Amino acid sequence: MIKRASGLLLLLLLLPALGRAEWLSDQASVMGTRINVELWHEDRALGELAIATVIDEFKRLDEKLSPYKTDSELTLVNRMAAEVAVDISSELFHLLQESHNYAKLTQGAFDITFASIGHQYDYRTGKKPNQQSTRQALPLIDYRHIRLDAKTQTVRFLRKGVQIDLGGIAKGYAVDRGIALLRERAIEHALISAGGDSRLIGDHRGRPWHIGIQAPRKKAAMAAVLPLADTAISTSGDYERYFEADGVRYHHIISPKTGHSAKNVQSVTILGPNATRTDALSTSIFVLGAEAGMALIDSLDDVEAVIIDRDGQMLTSAGLDSFH
């Protein structure tokens, strides 16, 4: 009796080590959003390790880039850069350079100094700056107030009061870092998503991944579902972080020109080669609005867009049909 039972036990213990190939997934709450990692691996233990590595990478970046953590590198910059040129890591320097490039490309629609006003909002409690403090802070929003010195790898703010926040690009960057870590491990089928920013490696083993675009004014309903493989996709929406007061929707994407929430569209989805790019562009096009935004997307040959305009109409860029 005892003998037979131990034989069965041995078999059960061996089973996980046989390493059957399968789909694996895990979720975590990091960077104020939901992280989801899904992948196919021939070996369950290695697959699970790969997922844990990705989630750790998100935590590392959150520690470094969060504007809310008092000891993050970004907070240090916000505290010091108006006084002295601050020595920063090459990773943060790279992200500030990327942000500068998107600011130039979008003629200032993407501008990380939006935070000079943005940090006066709290979307959970409905806190917002009054007219006077918005007016006072508006001149602080200008990416040209940030001086980057590549030689010394330092950053300096040219005006007192300037604040920066990488919320429009950091999640996409983290997704790209996670994808790089999976590629190093030769993983051929995977999805990483962080809130509205996702990137895919390969397909879903013989069929495409299906990525939904949320219907902006209907909870848990999709406006569209796209069959995709090997691409990045980001959505920016006015329904993600917002409150309403006096009939106005105050949400988290700020027009640098006015200091108020951008009003021209309900959501913007960008498809492209990497998530840093689709993240930065989804936020930018949201600010630019449907017309100027679509014109910019059509002028770039590696990205496509699905815009849901302020009336709820869906607009798509010229090359979307042939995109895969």
- Chain residues binding ligand AMP by CB under 6 A are 110-112, 114, 118, 165, 167-168, 196, 236, 240, 252-254, 256, 279, 282-283, 286-287
For Mg ion, which is the closer residue by CB, 47 or 237?
237
CB of 13 to ligand AMP, least distance (A): 46
Nearest CA to 52 among 32, 73, 30? 30
Greatest distance between any 2 Cα atoms in the chain: 83
User: Which one of Mg ion, ligand AMP, none interacts with residue 253, CB within 5 to 8 A by kind?
Assistant: ligand AMP
Which DSSP symbol is given to 113? G
From 165, 238, 279, 304, residue interacting with Mg ion (rule: CB under 5 A): 279
Does residue 282 bind Mg ion (CB under 5 A)?
A: yes
Instruction: Please provide residue 181's backbone torsions phi and psi, each rounded to the nearest 5 degrees.
Output: -65, -35
Which tokens go with 150?
């590549």
From 99, 163, 193, 283, residue interacting with Mg ion (rule: CB under 5 A): 283
Between residue 71 and residue 130, which ones bind Mg ion under the rule CB under 5 A?
A: none
User: Which one of Mg ion, ligand AMP, none interacts with residue 67, CB within 5 to 8 A by kind?
Assistant: none
User: How far is 282 from 177, CA to CA, in rounded Å?
Assistant: 19
Nearest CA to 41 among 247, 181, 185? 185
Give the chain's radius of gyration (CA, Å): 22
DSSP H/E element including 236: strand 232-237
User: How far is 148 from 69, CA to CA, in rounded Å?
Assistant: 23
Instruction: Please provide residue 190's backbone torsions phi and psi, each rounded to the nearest 5 degrees.
Output: -160, 155
CB of 152 to ligand AMP, least distance (A): 25
CB of 223 to ligand AMP, least distance (A): 16
For ligand AMP, which is the closer residue by CB, 173 or 189?
173
Between residue 158 and residue 187, which ones bind Mg ion under the rule CB under 5 A?
A: 168
For ligand AMP, which is the closer residue by CB, 163 or 317?
163
User: Which one of ligand AMP, Mg ion, none interacts with residue 254, CB within 5 to 8 A by kind?
Assistant: ligand AMP
Residues 6+ apart with CB under 8 A from 229: 200, 202, 203, 204, 208, 209, 324
User: How far is 101 from 250, CA to CA, in rounded Å?
Assistant: 27
Pairing label, strands 304-309, 33-41: unpaired
Which of the ranges 46-54, 104-112, 118-126, 272-280 carries the binding residues for Mg ion, by CB under 5 A? 272-280
User: Which one of ligand AMP, Mg ion, none interacts with residue 287, CB within 5 to 8 A by kind?
Assistant: ligand AMP
CB of 261 to Mg ion, least distance (A): 15
Using Cβ positions, the residue closest to Mg ion within the complex turns out to be 283
Give the residue carrying structure tokens 């700020």: 254
User: Which one of Mg ion, ligand AMP, none interacts with residue 289, CB within 5 to 8 A by kind?
Assistant: none
- Contact positions vs Mg ion (CB under 5 A): 168, 236, 279, 282-283
